[in-house]
Structure 1
Amino acid sequence: MLLLQEFNIEIRDKKGAENLVAGHLSRIEREDDPVPIKGKFPDEKLLHITTPTPWFAYICNFVAASQFPPEASRLYKERLQNDAKYYIWDDPYLWRLCNDQVIRRCIPDTKINSVLQFCHATPGGNHYGSTRMAKKVLDCGFYWPTIFRDAYQFVSTYDKCQKAGLAISRRNEMPQQPIPFFEAFDVWGIDFMGPFPVSNGYSYILLTVEAIATKINDAKVVVDFLKSNIFCWFGVPKALISDQGSHFYNRAMYSLRHKYGVVHRIATAYHPQINGQVEVFNREIKKTLQKMINPSQKDWSQLLEDALCSHRTTYRTPLGMSPYRIVVIKQYNLAYDQAGKQRKFQLQELDKLRLEAYENSRIYKKKVKRFHDQQILRKEFQVSQKVLLFNSRKLHSRWDGPFVITNVFPYGAIELKDEHTNNTFQVNGHQIKPFHE
């Protein structure tokens, strides 16, 4: 009878004399029967209907009939007897007196998912988190022992809630990977700033640690800048670092790199930390210009050189000196300084100064990495794992996907595959989270 309590059925006994139709059909004689009668019956286990036993079956049997489960240990019987005092059997339901002195109906395992679905996804559920949803189940008058655990599992695997979860933060970042140390001018980061209010026809700033004002931001401007301001002044670098902008990633840039043998490293989308040195330079130049320009903001192109001079001659903690000194091997000559005989000795200090700068930079980056990695949540991803990708658009799901991981690179980059289009692309591990099915 316990198995039938979840169904709303009524059994009525009808006398054979009153059930004339059934009695007539049972007495009709059939002369030919094409189906032979089998003398043997199949194994009774094949016809056995298997139904899950409710979690409260043993409690119900004890409360209703004082029966213990067969082969139960003495310790289990004591625990069952102790727990049973909180339960009330009121045919056909079992009720429990909870800690808040409210009597709630016990729900069998087969109904748990439907109750959670109702309390979470219906208009009254409002897609709240697991704790609120569990309390809502209790407020509805239902009970089972694992409410909070099941609510957490339900919310964690609910598709829409996963895609509308919390935005990424610094704690979700991958372990920091400082750029390796190179000789001066071997690696250059490059980026565009703008558009700004038009100043003498200029709207953009192209930066590499050097900077120039430009009227537009296209591939021709970038190629001309690299040739005239980098390659001809500081020599051909070994590598360039930039974002995925069309002004950096194009056929003209490919021809230039192929001609001079320069490696181009592309930063993953929405992760400017890969080109961190240029991003820091962007921020400093913006702050400096904000303090120097007029309220009309029309003179920033004229003041750009002054802002660059301030940047070059300012002491940098990672280097232990100013960028100007590591390049020209002497202090900057201000208006009151005079060039002296010490210039000959400063030239001899070139290697010493640069080695000192490299060592200072290595120590500083090591400290920053150690501090950064202590603040983040460790994440590990595996090939073939399904993940969601962060999307910052408003009024849309914050997370897109799921996508399948096809490759895990050693420095935080993850290659994803869209199962619908079979397209693959790379992102930083900071922007993804596991997808729970």
Structure 2
Amino acid sequence: MDYPFYLSLVHYLSRKRYPLDSTEKVKRKIRFHANKYVLVDGRLYQSTNDPQIRGREVLHEGTVNEIIQVVHNEGHFGINNTWRRLQMAYTGPALFERVRTIVQSCGTCQFRARVRRTRHNPSKPIDTPSDPFYMVGCDAVGPIHYEGQPPRYLLVAIDYLTRWPIAAVVDNINEETTAEFLFTHLVQMFGVPRYLLTDRGSNFTSRYVFEFLKKLGCRHITTTSGRAQVNGLCERMNQGIVQTIAKLARQEGDEKNWERYVTHALMAIRTMPNEATGFSPAKLLFGYELRTPATWPAPRKDFVEGELVEEIISRTKVIEYMSSQLREEAKEKSRQRKAKDKMLYDQRVAFRKPFKIGDQVLMRDKVPEGKFSDRWLGPMVVVGIGAPHMSELTHCVVVLFGQTKDKVHVICELEFTAQTVMNPLIKQQRIHTSISWGKHIPNFL
């Protein structure tokens, strides 16, 4: 929402005043839109049927970019997930396009962008179970090396219905550590799964873990050697957790102490609506959304202690609904999404936009220093186009990195989008204008 109109609504709701020289048409427009909002502490919120429930905050030109950046920096998720997270607490016109622009220009996300790989085999998705923790995938990440520190590992598990992630930092991944992780973080908290899907790592296929799972009554399923995609849901969760940890650690300049950000990353993923199910893991598991610093409302001050019984009854109804309809809906959405992903996966489309002279690009780092290091080097500038090599859509480009020129195949290149930063003088003028009511802000009767 543009700032002058935002101020017009604020002053109409607080003082019933219009800007000077307002026509009758402008006044009608202000009155019409004012009915959609309520004023709380000088900010506009969407009005709701229940006066005790505050609607989403309305963003204007002076706050929208900053709020989007704050929400995105919580976990450095992609465009769709950042937009979904923003919609939990905020609203405004053309928000999706603003989110797209800010996320695409995020330097952290571009340097950690996933390396594209050619697909050779058709997809065979696993059916989504009907109950939480009926089937669980488990995998290990590491070793993770950093200078001056011993190698560490991440043990990761994920529920195939709710997509609830579990992760723990361990010093090794031997059979005893693996069994302890499964019991402490999975069985003790959520019960014994009917199936456990893992790869053929020695820690998972050991006699110790076999007897442990047999005693619990859990059937252990392993993937085919060299085909990690069978446990694709867990593999993708590995990438998501590593990406989130890496971005949060990079943002703080603290990559060496990456284990500090595991809990933060899990919280962010557990509260993010999943693209396949349409719900966050927390919503499917507990029946309500977990609050985060970017989305939680102010605490209620008018809560009556006698309403506890009504609150328990209301929560029971929500859980009953969640247990049947909500999870069935998530299962159906997951099935539809898997069918759609299979169709797209099997097409093996590899078209790519050719680079032009002057484009900024990133070059793939084939030997990164560590698990959480940047995957790309640059940015570099394309200063020349080589002759076509493999086909008309793939060719070499000459890039300039500092004072060095190099010829690189485009498969190893990724387009870079520079981040637009607001001019400090313009930002200062916006703040001054909002305080002094300068000429760009409407005068009021």
TM range, smaller chain: 0.3 to 0.5
TM-score by length of 2: 0.44
Q: Higher strand fraction: Structure 1 or Structure 2? A: 2
- Considering Cα pairs closer than 8 Å and 6+ residues apart, tell me whether 1 or 2 has the greater RCO: 2
